[in-house]
Amino acid sequence: MKIITEHSLAFLMLCLALAVLYALLLYYKNKKEDFSKLQKIVLFASRTIAVTLIAFFLLNPLIKSLTRQTEKPIIIFAQDNSASLVAIPDSTFYREAYPESVELLLNRLEDQYDVQSFSFGENVRQELPFSYSDKVTDISELFRYAQNAFYNRHVGAMILASDGLYNVGVHPLYAMRYINYPVYTIALGDTTVYKDAILERINFNRIVFLNNNYPVEVLVNARKAKGEQTNLKIYINDHLKETQTITIDDDNYSQSFRFVFEAQETGQHKITAKLSPLQGEMNTANNEATAYFDVVDSHHKVLLLYSAPHPDVAAIKNAIENNINYELEHYQADDFTKPLEDYSLIILHSLPSVNMPANELFRKIENSQVSLLYILGSQSHIPLFNQKRTGLVIRGSRTSITEALPYYNRDFQFFTLEESTLNTLQRMPPLYAPFGEYQLSPAASVLLYQRIGAITTEQPLIFFNEADGRKIGVITGENLWRWRFRDYALNENQNATNEIIQKIVQYLAITVEKKYFNVSSQDIFFENENIIFDAEVYNKSFELINTPDVYMSIEDSEGTSFNYTFSKTYQAYKLDAGRLPVGDYIYEAHVNVGHEIFKETGAFTVAALNIEYSNTVADHRLMSNIAQTRNAFMFYPDELDNLYQSILDNHDIKPVIYHKMDFTDMLNLPWLLFLIVALLSLEWFVRKWSGTY
C-alpha cells in the first residue's frame, strides 16, 4: 500500500511549510493573544496538521493498495449412480464399503483442494446418494455439465468413478473434447463374463395397419452358455402367441428370430418376449423385453413436391419420418402422377417456380380439399403465388431475397413449442425470404415473424390461414436445412427443428372435430419419465380460455386413485404428474365451464426400462482411454490412496494467486475527515478555554 498523487509528492513539503508558517504567524508572532506554552504547542500542532491535510487534499491524493488472493484448484468428483453397478454379484461392496472409502478420499482432498461432488446417470446432480437407481447412463452429459458449470473456473482435475457403460448420449471420448484438465478414473463394476442369456431387443413396426400381417424380430444373445437351452416365449397383450426352444451353440451366441402376427384389433398393443433362465444364471433382469405398438385402420400420408432438388427436401423428410404417425412421399413435381385424394397434406417447395409453373398440378389441387404448405424460395414465381389465395400477397422484386431471422409470436394459439425449442430458435440462422412488401390477411395467424438484422418486422416467416375449405400454411423462406445443422451444433440433436416441422405438419394434416375440452399426452411413458399432460378449454365461440380450473384423477390397475390439478399456461393448461410405477393407468379429467361439466378420459402405460441390465460387463478399457487422453491414470476402488497421492504429485494442480490493485481517493476516507474536524475542534476548545476567539 502506498500514497500517490496527480502531482509530485514534493508538494507535500510545500503544504507542510505553508501550514507551519501560517501557525507561527497565528500563535508565535501574534502578541495580541496570550496563551501558555502548553496551549501554544497544542494550538500550533492542531493548526499545522489540519492545514497540512487540507492543503494536501488539493493534490488529489490516492491510496494504491495491492491485495493477494489464493484460489484453491477445484477437484470435480463424479460418481456413476446407474443401476448397472449393482447388477453384479458383488453389489454389497458398492452399497456399504465403497461409499465410506470415497468419503475418506474426499475429506483428505478437501484439505488442499476445493472439492465439488456430483452424481450422474439420467442427469447430473450435485449430491452423492449412492443409490444406484438411475435407469440410464449418459457420461457425455457429465462432461457437458462440467464444461458449462466450471467455465473460466480454476479446475485442477476431475475424478470419474464409473463402470464405463453408457447407453444414452454421444461417445464419452468425443464429448470430453473441450475438457482441458486431467481426468482420473476409478474403474468400477465387474469385467468377469458370467453365464447369461440376454434378450437384446425387439425389432417391430410402431404403426401397424388393421388386418395386415406384421413382423416381430427378437435378437437373443448368450455368454458362457455353450450347449445349454432356453425357451423363447412371445406374448401379445399378455397372451402367449409363440414358443421356441433355442439351443446355444457358442459361448458368444447371437441370433435373431422372426415371427409374423396378424393385426386384428385397433389400439395400443404390447409385445413381451421372455427367455427362460439358464441353470446358474445370476442376472435374469435382461431375460425379458417389452415393446408397444399401435394398430390403426388409417394413417396420414404427406406428399412433398419440389421444383428442383434442394437440401430442404431431405431436412423436411427426416423431420417428418421421425413421427411414426405420418408416411411421407416425395417427388419432383413433373414426375408426380398419383391421385391427390390419398394424401392429408401437400408440401410445395418453391412451387410454382420460375421454371415450373405446374399449372396442371395446381388445377388438380384446386379441385381437392387437401391441406397445403407452401415453402417459398429463390426460384418461387411470386406473381403466380400471389394468385393462390393463401392470405399473403408479396409485392416487389421477383428475384431479390433477404435474410430473415425467426421471431416467435407469443400470441400464437394453434399449438405450443417447448421452451427449449424457443431458446434454440433464437439462435437459428436466417432463412432466405423474398424481398418485398408483404400484405397479410387479417384472418391469418402468424407463428414466426421476420427479424431483419436487429429489427423485428410484422412480415410473416411462418403463418397459417384457411381458404376454400382447407388449411393453408406458408413458410416464406427456404434453407430449413441450415436450422437442422445449427440445432445439432447447439444441442447435439435436432429435436428443436423436428418439433417445429412436426407441429406444422400435425396442425395442417389432421382434421379434428372441435371440442370444448381437449386433453392430450403420450400413450407410453418409460419409468424414468415424468407423466405430462396438456389441456385446452374453449368457450362457446371456440376461443381459448384458461379461467376455470382443470382437475384430473389417475387410477392404476389396482384401483388406487391419484388426484391432480392442472397448472395454467398462457392460454392453456399443463400437468406434470411426476413419475409413476410401471403399469397401466386410466385417467379422467373434467372442467366446469359456466353451468356445464366437460370430461375427457384416456389411458396410458408406464413401461419398464431395463437397458441398464442388458450389459453389466464393465468397460474398463474406455475408463483407461478417458484417463490417458487427459494425461491422467486409472485406478481401482482399492487404490484410492494411490489416486490421492497421484493428485498430490501432479504439480500442474496448484493454487492460483490473484493480485488485485485498488485505488482509493483519500477524500473518501471518513477517518481523515473526522481527524481534521477533531483537530479544528480541539483548537477551538483551547481558544475558548483561554477566553479568546
Res 47: pLDDT: 84
User: What percent of the chain is modeled with pLDDT above 70?
Assistant: 97
Of the candidates 207, 213, 201, the residue with the CA atom closest to the CA atom of residue 256: 201
pLDDT band with cut points at 50, 70 and 90 for residue 424? very high
Res 470: pLDDT: 87
Average pLDDT over residues 218-243: 94
Verify that 84 and 63 share a domain, yes or no: no
Of the candidates 478, 575, 579, the residue with the CA atom closest to the CA atom of residue 525: 579
Instruction: List C-alpha distances in Å: 574 to 65, 91, 523, 539.
Output: 57, 40, 16, 18
Res 12: pLDDT: 82
Verify that 471 and 322 share a domain, yes or no: yes
Contact assessment for residue 267 and residue 236, using Cβ atoms and an 8 Å cutoff: no
Q: 535 exposed, middle or buried (CB, 10 Å; 0-12, 13-18, 19+)?
A: buried
Verify that 332 and 437 share a domain, yes or no: yes
Residue 301 CA to residue 423 CA, distance in Å, equals 31
- The enclosing domain of 627 has a CATH number of 3.40.50.410
Q: Is residue 597 one of the residues assigned to a domain?
A: yes
Contact assessment for residue 501 and residue 347, using Cβ atoms and an 8 Å cutoff: no
CB neighbours of 281 closer than 8 A, spacing ≥ 6?
194, 195, 196, 197, 225, 287
Q: What is the pLDDT of residues 619-676, one digit of tens each?
A: 999 999 999 999 999 999 999 999 999 999 999 999 988 878 888 888 888 888 898 8
Q: Is residue 674 one of the residues assigned to a domain?
A: yes
Res 324: pLDDT: 67
Q: What is the pLDDT of residues 329-349, one digit of tens each?
A: 999 998 898 888 889 899 999
Instruction: List C-alpha distances in Å: 587 to 184, 291, 530, 537, 557.
Output: 49, 22, 15, 17, 11
Verify that 268 and 348 share a domain, yes or no: no
Residue 412 CA to residue 635 CA, distance in Å, equals 56
Res 692: pLDDT: 66
- Mean of the per-residue pLDDT values for the chain? 89
Cell triple for 474: 406458408
In this predicted structure, the answer to whether residue 496 has a pLDDT above a threshold of 90 is: yes
User: By residue range, what is the domain housing residue 447?
Assistant: 300-509
Q: What is the pLDDT of residues 427-441, one digit of tens each?
A: 999 999 999 899 999
Average pLDDT over residues 30-41: 72
pLDDT band with cut points at 50, 70 and 90 for residue 32? low
Verify that 140 and 55 share a domain, yes or no: no
CB neighbours of 464 closer than 8 A, spacing ≥ 6?
414, 444, 445, 447, 471, 472, 473, 474, 507, 508
Residue 165 CA to residue 172 CA, distance in Å, equals 10
Residue 428 CA to residue 160 CA, distance in Å, equals 34
Q: What is the DSSP letter of 430?
A: P
Contact assessment for residue 348 and residue 374, using Cβ atoms and an 8 Å cutoff: yes
The full DSSP string for 642-662 is HHHHHHHH-TTS--EEEEEEE
User: What percent of the chain is modeled with pLDDT above 90?
Assistant: 57
Q: Provide the H-helix boundaries in 60-199.
A: 91-95, 97-109, 139-149, 172-175
Average pLDDT over residues 602-608: 89
In this predicted structure, the answer to whether residue 210 has a pLDDT above a threshold of 90 is: no
Phi and psi at residue 268, to the nearest 5°: -85, 140
pLDDT band with cut points at 50, 70 and 90 for residue 224? very high
Instruction: List C-alpha distances in Å: 133 to 162, 444, 611.
Output: 14, 50, 12
Verify that 63 and 145 share a domain, yes or no: no
Q: What is the pLDDT of residues 655-671, one digit of tens each?
A: 988 878 888 888 888 88
Helix then strand then coil, % of the chain, to nearest 5? 25, 35, 35
Report the domain count for the chain: 5
In this predicted structure, the answer to whether residue 110 has a pLDDT above a threshold of 90 is: yes
Residue 474 CA to residue 406 CA, distance in Å, equals 14
Verify that 49 and 79 share a domain, yes or no: no
In this predicted structure, the answer to whether residue 151 has a pLDDT above a threshold of 70 is: yes
Verify that 454 and 548 share a domain, yes or no: no
Residue 212 CA to residue 272 CA, distance in Å, equals 20
In this predicted structure, the answer to whether residue 204 has a pLDDT above a threshold of 80 is: yes
Q: 687 exposed, middle or buried (CB, 10 Å; 0-12, 13-18, 19+)?
A: middle
pLDDT band with cut points at 50, 70 and 90 for residue 693? low
Residue 649 CA to residue 643 CA, distance in Å, equals 10
Q: What is the pLDDT of residues 502-537, one digit of tens each?
A: 989 988 987 655 688 999 888 889 898 999 999 999
In this predicted structure, the answer to whether residue 29 has a pLDDT above a threshold of 70 is: no
Q: What is the pLDDT of residues 53-87, one digit of tens each?
A: 888 888 888 888 888 888 899 999 999 999 999 98
Q: Is residue 104 one of the residues assigned to a domain?
A: yes
Verify that 280 and 424 share a domain, yes or no: no
Res 212: pLDDT: 78
Q: Is residue 128 one of the residues assigned to a domain?
A: yes
Verify that 364 and 439 share a domain, yes or no: yes
Residue with cell 477566553: 691
Q: Is residue 612 one of the residues assigned to a domain?
A: no
- The enclosing domain of 392 has a CATH number of 3.40.50.880
Verify that 360 and 485 share a domain, yes or no: yes
Verify that 456 and 318 share a domain, yes or no: yes
Phi and psi at residue 425, to the nearest 5°: -60, -35
In this predicted structure, the answer to whether residue 587 has a pLDDT above a threshold of 80 is: yes
Residue 460 CA to residue 404 CA, distance in Å, equals 10
- The enclosing domain of 266 has a CATH number of 2.60.40.10
Res 299: pLDDT: 66
Whether the link from the prior residue into 352 is cis, omega within 30° of 0, is yes
Res 691: pLDDT: 67
